[in-house]
A and B are shown apart, each in its own frame.
Chain A
Amino acid sequence: MRERHARVKQIAAADISARVAELCIQVCTLLPPDVIAALQAAREQEASPVGREVLSRLLENAALAAQQQIPMCQDTGLAVVFVALGENVRVTGGHLGAAIAEGVREGYQKGYLRGSVVRSPLDRRNTGDNTPPVIHTKLIPGDSLKITVAAKGAGSENMSRLRMMAPADGVEAVKRFVVETAEAAGPSACPPLVIGVGLGGSFEQCALIAKRALLRPLDDQHPDPDTAALERELLELVNRTGIGPMGVGGRMTALAIKVETAPCHIASLPVAVNLQCHAARHASYTWRFPVGQELAPAT
């Protein structure tokens, strides 16, 4: 018992709040390097002159936000927080969920970020401090804690879709659904997009893996060769729609498409398409032990 107890690692709730607050400010003002690189590459490849110019303005916008420490976009998003909690970690001096919510409240207020949350979808009263966040927690073995904050804007979220297909519909129907979703979204979702696709799972798991797909580095390769090939084909198809950067016409409608799969029921083929605007904002912090050896904020 004693030995087991000694292995429990403690993290103060106040420390979690402080880190989450920093992450909120960071994601809204600093576009991640992989997204900047993807926008630069898109500008090189874009055949449409006006599309190229729009991409230049988006890069200029990201640079201005970083220099002046103001949000890159006025929609500073719903705070979607992903937690990977080691089973040997215990939060002290408060609860994990409350500590994260407090961090969001502090970050959005200190960072002059917009409160974009209403307390109820029908009475529409703004909570004023962008709480509550949406929190997804996964228990993992070991003694680390990783928290990822994504600021999810509504322009792209509103155009996202989920469809429960029949197994007989197959991969061709999946491809059509992804392309149709991007086309229906058009300029409203703020292209060039990052598209997260969930395939399989249950109704809610499908949506969640689509959202998790958006957290992958834009330049990574899916480890499964078939899924990687599907991602490449989907990107090619979406970039034939002609929508282009902000709908001004061109080839660069999406920067990347990431597909995540999960086992599913013999009767089901769930497909979720979670659209992400070009301001693909997320960042993580990991606590590892012994204390003092935390990783620097990354991805």
Chain B
Amino acid sequence: MRDCCSIDRPISLAAPLTDADVLALRAGQWVLISGIVYTARDAAHQRMAESLARGEDLPFDLKGQIIYYVGPTPAPPGRIIGAAGPTTAGRMDRYTPLLLARGLKGMIGKGPRSAEVREALQQHRAVYFGGIGGAGALYAQHIRKVELIAYENLGTEAIRRLQLQDFPAMVVNDCYGGDAYAKAQARWRKDL
């Protein structure tokens, strides 16, 4: 049992996600995500929030989807994308409850989330995955297809649809209030 869902024995997970997928995940488990995710970071979140405030539709239907917080480097010749690792999730916290209320089921980033986001994950049955920050070259190997969807003039911050293959990440916050970062730090902390 100790090895179940550890970093070297991860669970395969298909994206987009169903409620059943989300309910089965627990903080601290490692997953390999395959399927469709959408990229969005600071500027794209701001634009989406502005669209919603004006009563407009978003560039893609959020239901069941995963948003990957990433701003990739440009694709060199012969490649579909450059380095593409996760960015700090906390900067998107203020927009996240709004998107979760519209059906967003997952996010991939790095670093902890606010109390409001953790609460909203429980309320809307969604999950936050933490990737290995700084592993941009490694994560590029797990991206099979890239398609520009919206906000092209934002450059690296545009919304892209990615097809992932066995993309490794840890469940940081599950839909039951579990927090893998807090648990791990408490386990390894020594008196200061």
Contacts and interface: CB of A to CB of B under 8 A. Distances in A.
Interface of A: 47-50, 53-54, 57-58, 60-62, 64-65, 68-76, 112-116, 124, 126, 128, 153-155, 158, 179, 186-188, 190, 237, 240-244, 246-251, 277-279
Contacts of B70: 74
Contacts of A240: 189-192
Determine the interface band of chain B, counting residues with CB < 8 A from chain A. Answer: 35 or more
B147 to A, nearest CB: 18
A71 B137 contact: yes
A73 B136 contact: yes
B59 interface: no
A74 B41 CA distance: 13
B110 A251 contact: no
Given A248-B170, A248-B184, A65 B83 contact: yes
A266 B87 CA distance: 42
Contacts of B72: 74, 114
B179 to A, nearest CB: 11
B181 interface: yes
16 contacts: A57-B138, A58-B135, A61-B132, A64-B141, A65-B136, A69-B76, A75-B71, A75-B87, A153-B134, A155-B110, A240-B192, A241-B192, A242-B185, A242-B186, A243-B185, A248-B170
A190 B110 contact: yes
B40 interface: no
Nearest to B76: A112
B185 A61 contact: no
Contact of A112 (B73, B88, B185, B186): B73
Find the residue from B70, B73, B186, B192 having the highest chain A CB count within 10 A: B73
